[in-house]
Amino acid sequence: MAPNEWLTKQDFVKMLDVNLLGMIEVTLSLLPLVRKARGRVVNVSSVMGRVSLFGGGYCMSKYGVEAFSDSLRRELSYFGVKVAMIEPGYFMTNMTSPEVFNGSLQASWDQASPEIKELYGEKFVADFMKTSNLLKPSWSGNLSLMTNCMEHALTSCHPRTRYSAGWDAKFFYLPVSYMPTFLVDLMMYWGAPRPAKAL
């Protein structure tokens, strides 16, 4: 998770392989059994699959999970198979720990070209790293908000199509995803660090 121009194609490929293509491969390999049992497919996406607040492959991969799950739901409905998506907000996991987030950001910065480093400046990197602590809500350690959604999606007679796990998902990210793009852009400009050479 870093500004797109700090990254290489391989950075995107690595994220897409794990978060999107791996999920597709597992799902497709099990579909004959799921169809035969009239089972369920429950994929974990993210609120970042609804609104892309930062660059890198993560948001792209989660948009892909959303698209794959939507099309799969429509295709499999003819066979009695239900497809649901879990769209969690921010939860404390290995990926979201400040050490991992900041380490990943620093590695992306270190590989960036001198031109990019001049455009963004060291202050941008430091300010961007500080945002990882601001994003952490008080409920982020309560994973039962997520597992309750999974349980419902797997065991309910009438599962929902989408589950928003976490209060931030329900009351911030979901409404933001329906806002006009220019308002979301303004919110991002207002709250995000600015590159050193920004106009």
Q: Which among 143, 144, 146, 153 has a CA at the least distance from the CA of 41?
A: 153
Please answer whether residues 77 and 41 qualify as being in contact, where contact means their C-beta atoms are separated by less than 8 angstroms.
no
What's the half-sphere exposure (Cβ side, CA atoms, 13 Å) at 159? Answer: 27
Does residue 173 carry a catalytic annotation? no
What's CA 164's distance to the chain center, in Å?
A: 12
Is 197 buried (19+), middle (13-18) or exposed (0-12) by CB count in 10 A? exposed
Please answer whether residues 198 and 122 qualify as being in contact, where contact means their C-beta atoms are separated by less than 8 angstroms.
no
Active-site residue list: 58
